[in-house]
A and B are shown apart, each in its own frame.
Chain A
């Protein structure tokens, strides 16, 4: 029996900055995974991932990541590696966590 499909989003690293980015429904890349387009089945996921072949001048190494979604939007990345990518390292307050903090202050 086939395993139940887990909702997915497409992620990659930004070519210029190198940080984690996520593919949105408007076919753009966001630094916030909450804005990512979710794929509800295997075909959709494959198609969306294939579409990134046309984005090679912006991103590197696109792949699919499992998410929990609510109301058609991703709410949580499931793997701990992917959770780390949304924040940054644990030893210094660098990476996305720093950026998010700045946003909060602004």
Chain B
């Protein structure tokens, strides 16, 4: 884990389905994690941490998704950013795991224009996991005989 945070001059932030300029300097620390890097919830108990960035080197390295989920489970409320060669189809997954935004290179952004990200974002809502938490289960206490 390192505390120095470097935002690539050529990189682009994807937030709310739009290409955005980098954040203005915010108060608080920024922490960078490598994909798959171990941490404990205590590492983020410092309320001074404003941003956690998880770096991935390959789009098909899915560890960052579980890391993000674990960080959120442990109660982190700040900004969570996924940085690396993400593809637009992964954007809804990242949001659902607790990321707020993505940081992609300018070349990735050129290859995958903004509309692809805003389209992808629409697919965040209808998913089975959300539905399972909303599924009506009350009132079926009566044991059903096996089918």
Q: Are A and B close enough to touch in the complex, i.e. CB under 8 Å? A: no
- Chain A interface (Cβ < 8 Å from any Cβ of B): none
